[in-house]
Amino acid sequence: MSADTAPEESGDRFWTGPVAGRRPQGDPPRDGLAGPSLTVFVGPAGSGKSSLALAYARHRHAVYLDKDALASPLVGALLDAVELDPAARDESEFYTDQVMALEYEGMLAVAGDNLRLGREVVLDAPFAKYLADPGFMERTSRAHRWPVGLPLLVVQVSVPADVRRERLRRRGLRRDTWKLENWERHESSAAAECRWRGARVVDYDNSRDTIDLAALEDALALS
């Protein structure tokens, strides 16, 4: 893969190209010794949030949890079993009303286990249906017994719509077919802003052609 490839999920799931720019400053915490914390990378498909979240977790030596990696094989088999197209799950009421919440519940429960172990956790998921609900993370924290006073950072990843659309075309994943064929509907649902109480929200433009962790850490420091 060439150095000018966009920072996006590839067919084998993750960007493996170069990380650009200077190395982030300071030594990342190891083995959870700095205490538990939660960083959530949100953003629509094609924004490059998974590539960015994975690179950030690797640098921080954090636990990395990706909703799609955890749940997609099971969800795909379930939708096949009820004769629904897994690639068109975004338009399925069965998926959005009955299945999607279970995907998040599983990921958030595993996050809770690791947070109680004192680990730094990075979550990678769109959370689009839940971003506008101010109390979502408060209820989640109580339900999964997260540590009291847990630092919560949300990195809201974005790119211009034309860049995102081209990334989806290039990566050629079956699950993106419905999005590309129904772009206006998909784009309208991808514009949610995070309103969670107690969260520090940082907007990050991920239009660069390579992952730049130093630029991300600069954005976090300035917020």
Question: What are the tens digits of pLDDT across the range 110-121?
Answer: 999 999 999 999
77-81, 125-129, 170-174: segment of lowest average pLDDT: 170-174
Confidence (pLDDT) at 18: 41
Confidence (pLDDT) at 122: 98
Q: pTM of the prediction?
A: 0.79
The rounded distance, in Å, linking the Cα atoms of 166 and 211 is 17
pLDDT(223) > 70: no
Among the four given CATH numbers 3.40.630.10, 3.40.50.720, 3.40.50.300, 3.30.420.10, the one describing domain 37-222: 3.40.50.300
Number of Cβ within a 10 Å radius of residue 170: 13
Tokens at 181, concatenated: 């064929």
Higher per-residue pLDDT: 223 or 107: 107
Confidence (pLDDT) at 175: 75
Segments making up each domain of the chain, as ranges: 37-222
Segments of 34-181 assigned E as strands:
37-42, 63-66, 120-124, 152-158
pLDDT(134) > 50: yes
Average pLDDT over residues 64-76: 90
147 CB-contact burial (10 Å; exposed 0-12 / middle 13-18 / buried 19+): middle
Find out whether 9 and 16 touch, Cβ atoms under 8 Å: no
The rounded distance, in Å, linking the Cα atoms of 120 and 143 is 19
Average pLDDT over residues 153-175: 87
